[in-house]
Chains A and B, each alone.
Chain A
Amino acid sequence: MDTKKQKLIVVGNGMTGYKFCEKFVEKGLGEKYEIIVFGEEPWAAYDRVHLTDYYTGTSIYDLKLAPRTWYEENNITLLTSAKIVEINREQKEVTAQDGKAYAYDTLILSTGSSAFVPPIPGIDKEGVFVYRTIEDLEAIKAYIPKATKAAVIGGGLLGLEAAKAVMDDGLKTAVVEFAPRLMPRQLDDAGSQMLQAELEKLDLEILLSKSTRQIAGNGKVEAMEFADETTLEVDMVVVSAGIKPRDELAAKAGLEVGPRGGIVVDNKNQTSDPNIFAIGECALSNGMIWGLVAPCYDMAEVTASNLAGDDKTFDGADLSTKLKLIGIEVASFGDAFGQTDGAKPIVYQNLTNGLYKKIFVSEDKQRLLGGILVGDTSDYNMLFQTYKSALKLPAAPESMVMSGIEGGGMEISVLDLPDEAVICSCENVTKKRLVEAIDEHEITNVGQIKKCTKAGTGCGGCMPMLDDLFTAKLAASGKVVKKVICEHFDYTRQELFDLIKIGGIKTYPELLKKYGKGKGCELCKPVAASLLASIWNEFITKHSTIQDSNDKFLANIQKGGTYSVVPRIPGGEITPDKLIAIGAVAKKYDLYTKITGGQRIDLFGARVEELPLIWKELIDAGFESGHAYGKSLRTVKSCVGSTWCRYGQQDSVSFAIKVEERYKGLRSPHKLKGGVSGCIRECAEARGKDFGIIATEKGYNLYVCGNGGANPKHALLFATDIDEDTCIKYLDRFLMYYVRTAGPLVRTAKWLEQLDGGLDYLKQVVIEDSLGLGEELEADMQKIIDTFQCEWRSVVESPEQLKKFRPFVNAGATDDSIKFVPMRDQKRPANWDEIVTAEKVSEPA
């Protein structure tokens, strides 16, 4: 059989080369071809788009598109560190660097591109780098300690990425662009100015319209000199001025190449030799080089399909892009510059918050032609689809750039899109495909759509649309979109709460047997653990195996596998003796100490076997568990209040301690934080908490449902001028109602957003007792308070419990994989790359 197979050789194992392999497997080409892939880099294909992540600590393993075993499993011979130096078209052979020749019947060139280095005098000086491969990044990283200021040549996508990477490493950085604006291919002048203003706020220097005359310096970089007679003193230069197709191998073999580079191919990617194809960034197709992932993937797919007997062509692609640059969202699509005849611009610009949205509509205002978004690209997917599918526009097209503004927003639903609309452009998945997948596979969550269609697995930019499509599709088919926990329980968290409470269920196996299926998982187990604790308040280690790691070991797992320890310091008030006790423990066990945002002290770097010893000492010194590891009440932060502060109106510290002592140990759907401020100056930042109490002349104002974190929300005014007892009554009801009805890992702010009727409804339930639940909620809370026990005290007093705190069941040994490095007179865990040796990273071929 094998002897009859044709020989297929792929030169280049970059992203396009890999995509070709993937399509090769998908289309079963292994039946027909024997395939060898050559890569000149030492490692298998990796994700170059996310190269900057490598710079910031992502390992090469994470960037890998597929492990070597994948190639083996699919009978693809992958030879790395194997550069092909010659193609002999007569003999139909390629020759590798080591002189070995390999015969082919069909040859695919996916040699990619290299960084374009402009011919500037002095470009060869020490301290000049390109930004392209993992080796480039390593060289840059190694040079940074010797440098004080860097310049990046190139203000395009990759240039700005490079600038961010260098800037994040602590170097003062300037971006030097030849064109009069940033991202000249994607943005207009106003868009570029908006982006520039935002980047300058981050201390990135931007120099536009700068033509570099030479890089000056004695052997190594000292300054850049520009054509306008200005200079910029830098000691490092990173070049990211575009790409140059790697066509030298093809050119040497006599294949036709373009005047400005690129292997000339037809719309089937065939070169001037019918047995040789070129795909990706090395190919000059439809008159240009395609430097984005999606069109390169298209080319790989076209060639693989044609080898399988199809008749596909690559006729160019849309160059729309959406990305986040240094935290600033930028997108550009379609006719971004309004070059179509009669194109009418609609612009929304807000200088105070850095927003710029410009779209072009057709003369008759019926169709969207293209546009530019800076600062907020949340509407990109819908705008792009509206443009791409030529949807008829709403009567007031200006609403499309006004989302988030009163009266604005998109009126077009994802279900209105035509079947052929491509939702995921990386994997080329259409709406039709997605809808079919949802129907066929009886999909119940978005993760499954990803798995069976591959949509959303590339850049991930289409995920919000997948979510919308999925929800809209289920709603349209009359199915209730129910937020069930996971595949093991067909219930919502609230339903499970009722089942456990009414059914008197006390353990997870009992719950699973009665209402679930399978053996459970990491989603339903912690939910059940939290519910059992909220309802029965039994010692949580009784349910050890269904607790998330933090609750299992009653400490927070940290990088490196050690734990952190947080004793409770109610209201942030602590005696000197207790401070000394914490210090003594930290010193004895060599723990890194840090003051937390919640006015307590976190002790990091404890080994699992040290936890009980540390806690024994803390408990002897009068401390209790701080529940920092639990989805439970963390802290009630306070300001110093009327006892000391000349402005204070109430004793905020005493009240904060009272509230924290009351709710400590309460398990909830997510963590809970509180704050008490002694006056309107709000030094305790109580409005950034799940519940905030702010003193007034007459008593307290109560605020609820705020949080800090990724989506900060100020808590909303719930009750005015109430006394302490009323405040506690409302809090009992509010917290217990939240514990009962919120979804898993939903904090109070989000819960309120989802609650029908919102704040007014919540006030009715809690203050006016409209559901008649008030007393029950208070009684439930009282039960939790009455049954409180310090989890750590229980553990250190139980020899049986202590057994769990050993790294290995078969050896007294300590885990020697844990490594620390010194930092500012303390220690920190070693990073992954500080543990893994160099030889392990450059895995054996």
Chain B
Amino acid sequence: MQDIATDTTWVEAAPVSAFEADGGRAVLINGTQIAVYYFADENQWYATDNMCPHRGQQALSRGMTGTEGDEPKVACPFHKKTFSLKSGKCLSGDEYTIKTYPVKIENETVFIGV
């Protein structure tokens, strides 16, 4: 999340309280569905496309989060394809990549960089 280009537009998503600790929720930003994940212990936030590229389902925000080694990940609830929340790369052996977005918290509000 360090290499954010200066032309990132920060869009206000929702108050921190609207999200779920150690889980995901979807937000709608300019018509695009984005999944936002919150790892409460480390106070880490991640955001990715909500769509799983495997079957095109808008589902990742409804998946379970976790780690593989040190890599934070989410598992699609449909067929359990897992994706790194850092790189967006599929971790379960397929050649998919999902888009990731930078997240920042200001005044107890979650902003997504698009």
Contacts and interface: CB of A to CB of B under 8 A. Distances in A.
Contacts of A451: 93
Interface stretch (B2-10, B58-66, B100-108): B58-66
Interface in B42-67: 51, 53-59, 62-67
B67 A518 contact: yes
A450 B93 contact: yes
Interface residues of B, number: 45
Interface in B32-88: 33, 36, 39, 41, 51, 53-59, 62-70, 72-73, 75, 77-78, 80, 82
Contacts of B25: 809
B95 A67 contact: yes
B28 A810 contact: yes
A93 interface: no
A810 B18 contact: yes
Nearest to B74: A522
Sorted nearest first, the 4 A-B pairs with minimum C-beta distance are A549-B77, A522-B75, A521-B66, A545-B23
A522 B23 contact: no
B80 A522 contact: yes
B114 interface: no
B64 A548 contact: yes
A66 B73 CA distance: 22
A342 B45 CA distance: 71
A575 interface: no
Contact of B27 (A70, A526, A810): A810
28 contacts: A61-B96, A62-B54, A64-B95, A67-B96, A488-B66, A518-B69, A519-B41, A519-B72, A521-B64, A521-B66, A521-B73, A524-B66, A525-B64, A544-B23, A545-B22, A545-B23, A552-B62, A561-B57, A561-B58, A809-B27, A809-B36, A810-B18, A811-B28, A815-B58, A817-B33, A817-B58, A832-B55, A835-B56
Interface string A635-665: 0000000000000000000000000000000
Contacts of B54: 62
A370 to B, nearest CB: 33
Contact of A69 (B23, B75, B80, B97): B97
A807 interface: yes
A40 B62 CA distance: 40
Contact of B20 (A66, A544, A549, A807): A544
Contacts of B13: 809-810
A131 to B, nearest CB: 25
A557 B77 contact: yes
Contacts of B67: 488, 518-521
Contacts of A817: 33, 51, 58
A451 B51 CA distance: 25
Contacts of A509: 22
Given A67-B96, A817-B33, A808 B27 contact: yes
Nearest to B12: A810
Given A69-B97, A807-B26, A809-B27, A522 B63 contact: yes
Contacts of B28: 808, 810-811, 813
A382 to B, nearest CB: 26
Contacts of B27: 808-811
B62 to A, nearest CB: 5
A808 B93 contact: no
Interface in A801-844: 804, 807-811, 813, 815, 817, 832, 835-836
A787 interface: no
Interface in A588-638: none
Given A487-B68, A545-B23, A519 B39 contact: yes
Contacts of A518: 66-67, 69-70
Contacts of B19: 809
Contacts of A832: 55-56
Given A809-B19, A809-B27, A810-B28, A553 B75 contact: no
A21 interface: no
B55 to A, nearest CB: 6
B101 to A, nearest CB: 14
Nearest to B72: A519
Interface of B: 13-14, 18-23, 25-29, 33, 36, 39, 41, 51, 53-59, 62-70, 72-73, 75, 77-78, 80, 82, 93, 95-97
B14 to A, nearest CB: 4
Given A64-B95, A557-B78, A809-B18, A525 B62 contact: no
B62 A557 contact: yes
Contacts of B95: 64-67, 70
Contact of B66 (A59, A69, A70, A522): A522
B66 A520 contact: yes
A91 to B, nearest CB: 37
Nearest to A521: B66
B9 to A, nearest CB: 16
Interface in A543-568: 544-546, 548-550, 552-553, 557, 559-561
Given A521-B68, A809-B25, A549 B62 contact: yes
Contacts of B39: 519
B66 A519 contact: yes
A61 B53 contact: yes
A546 B64 contact: yes
B74 to A, nearest CB: 8
A559 B79 CA distance: 11
A457 interface: yes
A300 B10 CA distance: 48
B14 A810 contact: yes
Interface in A492-551: 509, 518-522, 524-526, 544-546, 548-550
Contact of A67 (B58, B63, B69, B97): B97
Nearest to B82: A522
B76 to A, nearest CB: 9
Contacts of A560: 57
Nearest to A817: B58
B69 to A, nearest CB: 8
Contacts of A804: 20
Given A521-B75, A526-B64, A545-B65, 5 more contacts: A488-B66, A545-B21, A808-B28, A815-B58, A832-B56
Given A487-B68, A545-B21, A557-B78, A808 B73 contact: no
A815 B58 CA distance: 9
Query: Which of A66, A522, A526, A544 has the largest count of B CB atoms less than 10 A from its CB?
Result: A522
A375 to B, nearest CB: 30
A521 B54 CA distance: 19
B113 to A, nearest CB: 15
A808 B66 contact: no
Interface in A170-217: none
A549 B63 contact: yes
A744 B43 CA distance: 31
A548 B33 contact: no
A809 B110 CA distance: 11
B40 to A, nearest CB: 9
B5 to A, nearest CB: 19
Contacts of A550: 77
A553 B62 CA distance: 9
Query: Which of B14, B62, B66, B67 has the largest count of A CB atoms less than 10 A from its CB?
Result: B66
A447 B19 CA distance: 33
A553 B64 CA distance: 13
Contacts of A808: 26-28, 33
B7 to A, nearest CB: 22
Contacts of A559: 57
Interface in A45-62: 59, 61-62
A545 B64 contact: yes
B53 to A, nearest CB: 7
Contacts of A69: 97
A66 to B, nearest CB: 5
A488 to B, nearest CB: 8
A815 B59 CA distance: 11
A560 B58 CA distance: 8
Contacts of A815: 33, 58
Contacts of B96: 61, 67
